Structure 1
């Protein structure tokens, strides 16, 4: 019995020592920032000693590991985290209150070894406003026309739809969305004032995390695969673009040209944005790009997803390149004021450009494959 008690004491002592060895970040203010170094994503965070364990979940990792920086008003720390890993630390507030905090990286998803392999094909439609949509069923009850919006995540329904159409009971964490022959779960539902023309809401890319999604405008289909079809890698007409994740959406690299000036940056891949490309004018000016020399076509006030007003100037852009393909004489939307998203500025690729390519999204290896389709020569809406 004495030996048993001794082992218990040693065991408890090990736990206490392990807890004592947790990294400590000092703070006098409960306000702090968390920075994902690889993508520049910054989050405001409040240290709270009343929460048993406060968890910050990173964006999806497109590399094996990433560095996270914590900065308080008087201290800072860096952590390297791998896929599926957790890093715990203590924020010591005013020298007395311990705030247990965890940085969590979600385990990677990969359905490439699913047995049997799946290839689910759904009818894909696109209207004159560049909104692509499919028919879906929510909770086996509500038939909904939804936009596949790669610039969003989870499921978003318009307030009108939530109020007047949904008959099923919506419960957090237990909803199911049927798209084609597959049922998707583990998503959140958010309200919004607006959605793409003719749709009742939108679903994001992350429903397909770990899968392959195909958009073929020539055939009018959307397909979900467990494996990338072998012919895609063999087809030299596809251009291959790396994916970078930021705040649960994803970006690809693109270059724009005006005269002798070329600017290369990461662009939000946003099939839910109905125009060509939205450029952050002030950011481009800071980088020396001749925004003011672009010929103005028109000025409009646009509505954001939440009904907010955004002043936009449409100007002539000489060219935009995606991989090995270049589009010319594009009526681009140029913001006169930067639009901050999670404290970051960004450019956006919209579906007036993206619809001109048949696409494979490889959410297993974080790659986009695209090649021109029958819509490539179609006039832009502003030129029609």
Structure 2
């Protein structure tokens, strides 16, 4: 009798435990991890299913972009309008279409989108998949499974691991920004930084923030970089070491970052303090909850991947 009572009580306790609701993605899309460690997916434009295109997945791009120098994009859309484009190092007026285009990744086609044209090198990629498409879903980037999972808006959080860090997303210049703590030269700063999977950088502090806090030339750079944006002479970045970068409770010591001297474009903007590039973000599986404006980051097995090969030679 005692044994029966004990089993009954255990069963009752189990019934009272909260269970994580299983959520099924609306689609699963494999991605290619490029030599530059960025994410590439197959995209189709305007129902041209016989013309698969290689697109860069870019959370730092507001729109979907066609590479006007790629022979594979010729004739896919009519660029009859123009828009002002803020790139990393410039502000330019560039061609755009009407907001009537159809973009498909996997089985998910979104209509009523505008495309813009940027002349990247012909072999770079065929286009860029930006937020005008991505924000129609909650988007999970899983490096372990090399797949992107699309969820109905609001459902993505149900798939988040308990080990993930949650950062609140806001928007500046049309792209998501999150709060981050960074320590530089022994001083702690709370910064708002863009989350940009399209950038191959690690963590750049914008020119206004660098100037305001007197950071330029406070360290001897281990390298000097120039941004390969939409203009050739785009400005300079002093690559230095940050003491640490903190994402809520997760502290990452000695992170290579940069002080920007760029005077035009996103990295010259006072709207945000800096940019987290994919060389930082690739160390985490990412869940973009675009309905609730939350970004979840879970450490993956790329955490200790070298930031730059020349630093470990």
TM over 0.5: yes
Q: TM-score, normalised by structure 1?
A: 0.63
Tell me if the contact between 1:356 and 1:374 (Cα under 8 Å) persists in the aligned partners.
Answer: yes
- Determine which of 288, 306, 309 is the counterpart of 1:361: 288
Length, aligned pairs only:
265
Report the equivalent of 1:255: 181
Tell me if the contact between 1:244 and 1:251 (Cα under 8 Å) persists in the aligned partners.
Answer: yes
Which SS does the other structure have where 1:186 is aligned?
strand
Alignment partner of 1:154 is 2:79: no
Tell me if the contact between 1:192 and 1:306 (Cα under 8 Å) persists in the aligned partners.
Answer: no
When residues 354 and 343 of structure 1 are mapped into structure 2, their CA distance, relative to the original with a 3 A threshold, is closer
Structure of higher RCO (CA pairs closer than 8 Å, 6+ residues apart): 2
Q: Cα offset for 1:303?
A: 1.9
In the aligned structure 1, how far is the partner of 2:77 from the partner of 2:150?
A: 27
Structure 2 unaligned blocks of 5 or more = 1-22, 79-96
Which SS does the other structure have where 2:235 is aligned?
strand
Q: Cα offset for 1:139?
A: 1.5
Q: Cα offset for 1:267?
A: 0.3
Q: Cα offset for 1:311?
A: 1.5
- Determine which of 206, 214, 222 is the counterpart of 2:140: 214
Which SS does the other structure have where 1:284 is aligned?
helix
Report the equivalent of 2:38: 131
| Mean CA deviation greater in 120-129 or 163-172 | 163-172
Q: How does 1:56-205 map to 2 (within 5 A)?
A: 119-141=26-48, 142-161=51-70, 165-170=73-78, 172-194=98-120, 198-205=124-131
Tell me if the contact between 2:167 and 2:179 (Cα under 8 Å) persists in the aligned partners.
Answer: yes
Tell me if the contact between 1:194 and 1:307 (Cα under 8 Å) persists in the aligned partners.
Answer: no
Which SS does the other structure have where 1:377 is aligned?
coil
Tell me if the contact between 1:147 and 1:272 (Cα under 8 Å) persists in the aligned partners.
Answer: yes
- Determine which of 154, 159, 166 is the counterpart of 1:240: 166
Which SS does the other structure have where 2:167 is aligned?
strand
In the aligned structure 1, how far is the partner of 2:64 from the partner of 2:110?
A: 11
Q: Cα offset for 1:148?
A: 1.1
Q: Cα offset for 1:304?
A: 1.2
Tell me if the contact between 1:294 and 1:315 (Cα under 8 Å) persists in the aligned partners.
Answer: yes
In the aligned structure 2, how far is the partner of 1:355 from the partner of 1:280?
A: 21
Tell me if the contact between 1:193 and 1:307 (Cα under 8 Å) persists in the aligned partners.
Answer: no
In the aligned structure 2, how far is the partner of 1:128 from the partner of 1:240?
A: 29
In the aligned structure 2, how far is the partner of 1:143 from the partner of 1:270?
A: 24
Which SS does the other structure have where 1:309 is aligned?
coil
In the aligned structure 1, how far is the partner of 2:67 from the partner of 2:305?
A: 31
Q: TM-score, normalised by structure 2?
A: 0.77
Which SS does the other structure have where 1:151 is aligned?
coil
Report the equivalent of 2:194: 268
In the aligned structure 2, how far is the partner of 1:262 from the partner of 1:165?
A: 47
Report the equivalent of 2:13: none
In the aligned structure 1, how far is the partner of 2:123 from the partner of 2:181?
A: 29
- Determine which of 295, 299, 308 is the counterpart of 2:224: 299
In the aligned structure 2, how far is the partner of 1:246 from the partner of 1:228?
A: 23
Tell me if the contact between 1:280 and 1:338 (Cα under 8 Å) persists in the aligned partners.
Answer: no
The RMSD of aligned alpha carbons is 2.5
Which SS does the other structure have where 1:176 is aligned?
strand
Deviations 1:301-345, CA, capped at 9 Å, x for gaps: 322134442222211222112232222222212212444449833
When residues 301 and 341 of structure 1 are mapped into structure 2, their CA distance, relative to the original with a 3 A threshold, is closer
Report the equivalent of 2:90: none
- Determine which of 370, 375, 383 is the counterpart of 2:297: 370
In the aligned structure 1, how far is the partner of 2:287 from the partner of 2:192?
A: 19
- Determine which of 154, 158, 162 is the counterpart of 1:230: 158
